[in-house]
């Protein structure tokens, strides 16, 4: 099954980002394909290369980056939501890209299922 994922919450303020990541990882292990992960609202904070959690904490941004690299997943950050929160190309983690809501619509059309994490 081809899946699309929408993440609406930031990485350290809500469980949604962790849950989305773990869901994506488990789905891949079960043989499903993740078509795209779209980060919207506060979810755009999952793409910031300025994120520096303590050494003994998980690094969610790096987790997304590695998962995408290992499994060729398209990580898309909503341009409007990103700019509202000060995220631009220069502070975007490698492996993420900024684009518009059209990418979310396209993912919904191309995927067999679209799963939303967060409000």
pLDDT in tens, 11-56: 998 899 999 999 999 999 999 999 999 999 999 999 999 999 999 9
Tell me if residue 73 is catalytic: no
Q: What is the mean pLDDT of residues 68-81?
A: 98
Task: Quickly count: other Cβ atoms within 10 Å of residue 27's Cβ.
Answer: 17
SS3 98: strand
Pairing state of beta strands 33-39 and 74-78? parallel
Please report, rounded to a whole number, the percentage of residues in the chain having pLDDT higher than 70. Answer: 100
Q: How confident is the model at residue 110 (pLDDT cuts 50, 70, 90)?
A: very high
Which pLDDT score is estimated for 92?
97
Write down the catalytic residue from 7, 78, 104, 111. 78
Q: What is the DSSP string of 31-90?
A: T-EEEEEEE-GGGGGGGBTT----TTS--HHHHHHHHHHHHT-EEEEEHHHHHHTT--GG
pTM of the predicted structure, to 2 decimals: 0.96
Please report, rounded to a whole number, the percentage of residues in the chain having pLDDT higher than 90. Answer: 96
Q: What is d(CA 7, CA 18) in angstroms, rounded to the nearest whole number?
A: 10
């Amino acid at each position: 099954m081809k899946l699309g994922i929408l993440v609406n919450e930031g990485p350290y303020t809500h469980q949604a980002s962790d849950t989305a990541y773990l869901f994506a990882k488990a789905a891949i292990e079960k043989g499903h394909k993740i078509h795209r992960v779209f980060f919207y609202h506060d979810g755009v904070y999952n793409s910031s290369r300025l994120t520096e959690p303590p050494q003994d904490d998980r690094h969610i941004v790096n987790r997304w980056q590695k998962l995408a690299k290992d499994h060729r997943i398209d990580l898309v950050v909503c341009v409007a939501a990103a700019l509202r929160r000060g995220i631009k190309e220069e502070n975007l983690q490698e492996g993420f890209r900024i684009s518009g809501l059209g990418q979310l619509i396209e993912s919904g059309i191309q995927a067999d299922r679209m799963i939303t994490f967060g409000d």
